[in-house]
């Protein structure tokens, strides 16, 4: 659990740095489509950092859901960064899998909440 909290903090930390880099530098040098993809990756990275921080501190914590989110955002945002900066086209196949892991994590959270006795 400690690793996931540290990783969530790292995701938040690095998304702020990447967002600033994008706004002040990359916007000038990247093609518009690449910049929009970059912004999407940074946004999802921050969203999932916040979700992980909230979730790993809540009473509903499930390591499987948190691991899916961490793995998913790493694949999703990481593959977009690789596509843009390294031009590794094969990473385009990984991006949807990362998104699916994030979606699956959220779906499992819904099921977890539905199964709780209120």
Nearest-angstrom CA–CA distance, 62 and 75: 20
pLDDT in tens, 78-105: 999 999 999 999 999 999 999 999 999 9
Evaluated on CA atoms 58, 52, 61, 115, the torsion sign reads: positive
- Measure Cα distances from 42 to 13, 54, 58, 71, 112 in Å: 11, 18, 24, 15, 28
pLDDT in tens, 53-65: 999 988 778 999 9
User: 118: pLDDT confidence band, cut at 50, 70 and 90?
Assistant: very low
User: 1: pLDDT confidence band, cut at 50, 70 and 90?
Assistant: confident
- Among 21, 71, 22, 23, residue whose Cα is nearest residue 48: 71
The pTM for the full model equals 0.89
């Amino acid at each position: 659990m400690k690793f996931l909290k540290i990783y969530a903090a790292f995701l938040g930390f690095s998304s702020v740095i990447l967002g600033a880099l994008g706004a002040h530098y990359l916007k000038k040098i990247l093609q518009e489509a690449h910049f929009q993809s970059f912004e999407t990756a940074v946004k999802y990275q921050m969203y999932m950092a916040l979700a992980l921080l909230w979730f790993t501190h809540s009473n509903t914590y499930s390591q499987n859901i948190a691991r899916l989110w961490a793995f998913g955002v790493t694949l999703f945002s990481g593959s977009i960064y690789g596509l843009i900066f390294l031009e590794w086209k094969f990473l385009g196949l990984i991006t949807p899998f990362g998104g699916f892991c994030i979606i699956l994590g959220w779906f499992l959270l819904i099921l977890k909440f539905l199964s709780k006795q209120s």
